[in-house]
């Protein structure tokens, strides 16, 4: 990894972000000029951002060649403005500039997550390449018998509902076939983006991405390994138990008792969540008192109805409600008459109240959870809307994800009873908690190594350490080392299997999710502790907890105006990110897994 202090402005950024927003010191001429520049930059960016967000929204909800062109032009214009203002921000280095202004100058640089080249022709090629990749990815189709599957979510769901290993392998191969069509464009996009990052004073995009966490990039790489070392023992026990259960269900010829797990047997396109295989992995545990998937399928709430459940959850904590424009402008379900970008996302169109949900929601547990999550993003945005434009963001990328996921963590039996989805007679007893915890672990714990390796791979690609000819070898080496998974058959270079994940063509950083999953449990435990909850952590729900909502709202309202450590302290009383919350949540499950795995050869 390249050292962080590769340019004087990079050092300036690091110092500012760590110092935060102390009282201003003596202001000289350049300090006055910096304040005027920041005010002008925020006005320009806010207007341009709304135009860009609207163009991206139309493109993602009406996916055509024309909207691709419009989205590419809007992205080119907005990114060009970001790059121009970022380079101008880098010219202000007078130590007399007050720290609040200095932080906004630093954020002007760091909010450019996808940097375009300075050259106008290359910038246009960059925007067109990105739009082409996103469009090609979202138009990829696979067959599942007589059904045509047109999105990552549909393929994921088809795999979750199928046990046959040959069918699972075929679905996995067919969805991953999109990668081979994307690799040349992706390699060119990386090359163009590297030029953009260098124009901002960074060695590559990876260094830029690692610089947004109020610490040196080299420290971040060390920090994620520290946190992973805390979680890995739980993951190894879960892997060992799941492998034994799958071997029992399929036989040793399909899934051996030793070594890696076949990736398609996780019943997830990327092997990130294994909850689709819960029926086989948990087959000898006490049966759950209810099956939320079946309840939702029977009640069949619309996408809008599920969003209404989510809105009521967040407002029960005295947090902002979704405005009228949300209900009028969101896309809750997949339209029958056009191509759209299906993966769920919250769109924050302006800094006032135009927040929206884009999703092809179905009546199932994962989408029910996802809707709670995405509405949580909109809640966060509404909470910090009073901040200046540059501070209208979470304390860091992980905070947005972590806060949003508090909704998913609160989908407990008591919450489901309170909203009428589960009858009191269906309340699970303590003996059924292991099944509930195992299902959650197959979503959260299995995700941890995956969320780590996506950006470990990209950091190597962005820096040039891994060239296009080694994309696949480098990816599968990380999958084997951290996840303990393997494909059914040997993969060849050019398959570009990682591109089956939408975040690759979308150029969205992934390490935020690794931090977010740890942070959400830390926030959750702190809120439950403060509420006086004395039962098992996994049975706590924040539904209706206005005191927790008040404390969280204070954190949300800060936006990105201070280092994330200050935001964490506001919500939890601690400035140190830790895996302790996640480990406390899953402690009863880990003790069970250790007993079950006694005598087995764990690891891979």
- Two tokens, residue 521: 């449990």
Residue 235 has which token pair? 């993951």
* 331-367 CB burial, b ≥16 within 10 A, e <16: bbebeeeebbbbbbbbbbbbbebbbbbbbbbbbbbbb
SS3 257: coil
- Cβ 403 vs Cβ 394: under 8 Å: yes
SS3 state at 73: helix
- 400 labelled catalytic: no
> 137: which 2 tokens?
């990815």
Q: Which two tokens stand for residue 23?
A: 């009282």
Name the CA dihedral angle for 246, 252, 258, 260, rounded to a multiple of 10 degrees: -60
Helices (H), 20-151: 29-61, 65-89, 99-110, 120-138
Distance CA 212, CA 208 (A): 7
Contact 586, 598 (CB under 8 A): no
The count of other CB atoms within 10 Å of the CB of residue 68 is 18
**CA–CA separation, 590 and 552 (whole Å):** 29
Question: Which residue in the list 374, 377, 400, 520 is annotated as catalytic?
Answer: 374
Query: Which three-class secondary structure state does DSSP give residue 434?
Result: helix
What pairs with residue 144 in β-bridges?
Answer: 147
How far are the Cα atoms of 34, 82, 90, 194, 511 from residue 105, in angstroms, in the given order? 8, 12, 7, 22, 24
CB 217 within 8 A of CB 207: yes
CA 179 → CA 148, 186, 247, distances in Å? 19, 10, 30
DSSP collapsed to 3 states, 439-457: HHHHHHCCHHHHHHHHHHH
Measured between alpha carbons, how far is 291 from 38 in angstroms, rounded to an integer? 53
Residue with tokens 């007679």: 425
Q: Are the C-beta atoms of 189 and 136 separated by less than 8 Å?
A: no
d(CA 422, CA 438): 20
374 as an active site residue: the answer is: yes
3-state secondary structure 272-302: CCCHHHHHHHCCCCCCCCCCHHHHHHHHCCC
| Cβ(391)–Cβ(398) below 8 Å | no
Which one from 191, 308, 333, 503 is the annotated catalytic residue?
Answer: 503
Catalytic (active-site) positions = 374, 503
């Amino acid at each position: 990894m390249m050292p962080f202090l590769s340019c004087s402005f990079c050092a300036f950024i690091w110092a500012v972000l760590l110092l935060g927003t102390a009282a201003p010191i003596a202001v000289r001429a350049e300090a006055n000029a910096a304040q005027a520049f920041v005010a002008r930059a925020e006005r320009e960016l806010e207007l341009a951002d709304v135009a860009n967000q609207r163009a991206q929204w139309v493109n993602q909800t009406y996916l055509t060649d024309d909207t691709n062109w419009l989205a590419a032009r809007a992205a080119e214009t907005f990114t060009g403005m970001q790059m121009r203002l970022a380079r101008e921000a880098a010219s202000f280095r007078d130590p007399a500039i007050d720290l609040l202004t200095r932080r906004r100058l630093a954020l002007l640089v760091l909010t450019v997550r996808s940097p375009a080249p300075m050259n106008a022709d290359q910038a246009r090629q960059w925007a067109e390449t990105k739009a082409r990749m996103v469009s090609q990815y979202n138009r990829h189709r696979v067959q599942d018998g007589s059904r045509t599957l047109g999105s990552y979510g549909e393929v994921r769901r088809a795999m979750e509902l199928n046990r046959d290993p040959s069918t699972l392998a075929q679905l996995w191969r067919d969805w991953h076939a999109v990668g081979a069509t994307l690799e040349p464009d992706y390699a060119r996009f990386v090359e163009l983006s590297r030029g953009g990052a260098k124009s901002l004073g960074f060695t590559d995009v990876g260094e830029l991405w690692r610089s947004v966490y109020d610490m040196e990039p080299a420290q971040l790489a060390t920090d994620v390994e520290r946190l992973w070392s805390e979680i890995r023992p739980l993951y190894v026990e879960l892997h060992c138990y799941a492998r034994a259960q799958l071997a029992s269900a399929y036989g040793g010829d399909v899934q051996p008792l030793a070594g890696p797990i076949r990736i398609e047997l996780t019943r997830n396109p990327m092997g990130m969540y294994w909850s689709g295989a819960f029926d086989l992995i948990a087959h000898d545990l006490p049966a759950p008192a209810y099956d939320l998937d079946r309840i939702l399928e029977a009640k069949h709430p619309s996408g809008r109805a599920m969003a209404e459940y989510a809105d009521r959850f967040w407002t029960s904590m005295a947090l902002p409600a979704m405005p009228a424009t949300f209900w009028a402008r969101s896309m809750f379900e997949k339209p029958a008459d056009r191509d759209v970008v299906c993966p769920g996302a919250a769109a924050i169109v302006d800094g006032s109240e135009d927040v929206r949900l884009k999703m092809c929601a179905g009546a199932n547990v994962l989408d029910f959870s996802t809707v709670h999550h995405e509405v949580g993003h909109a809640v966060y945005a509404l909470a910090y809307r009073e901040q200046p434009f540059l501070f209208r963001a979470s304390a860091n990328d992980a905070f947005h994800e972590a806060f949003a996921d508090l909704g998913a963590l609160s989908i407990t039996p008591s919450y489901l009873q309170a909203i009428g989805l589960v009858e009191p007679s269906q309340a699970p007893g303590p003996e059924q908690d292991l099944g509930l915890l195992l299902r959650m672990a197959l979503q959260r714990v299995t995700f941890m190594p995956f969320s780590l390796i996506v950006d470990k791979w990209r950091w190597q690609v962005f820096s040039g350490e891994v060239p296009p000819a080694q994309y696949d070898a480098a990816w599968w080496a990380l999958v084997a080392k951290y996840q303990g998974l393997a494909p059914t058959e040997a993969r060849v270079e050019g398959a570009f299997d990682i591109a089956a994940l939408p975040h690759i063509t979308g150029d969205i950083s992934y390490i935020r999710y690794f931090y977010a999953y740890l942070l959400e449990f830390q926030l959750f435990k702190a809120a439950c502790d403060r509420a006086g909850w004395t039962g098992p952590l996994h049975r706590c729900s924040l539904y209706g907890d206005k005191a927790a909502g008040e404390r969280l709202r204070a954190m949300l309202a800060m936006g990105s105006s201070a280092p994330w450590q200050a935001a964490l302290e506001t919500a939890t009383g601690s400035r140190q990110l830790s895996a302790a919350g996640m480990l406390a949540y899953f402690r009863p499950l880990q003790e069970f897994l250790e007993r079950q795995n006694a005598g087995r050869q764990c690891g891979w």
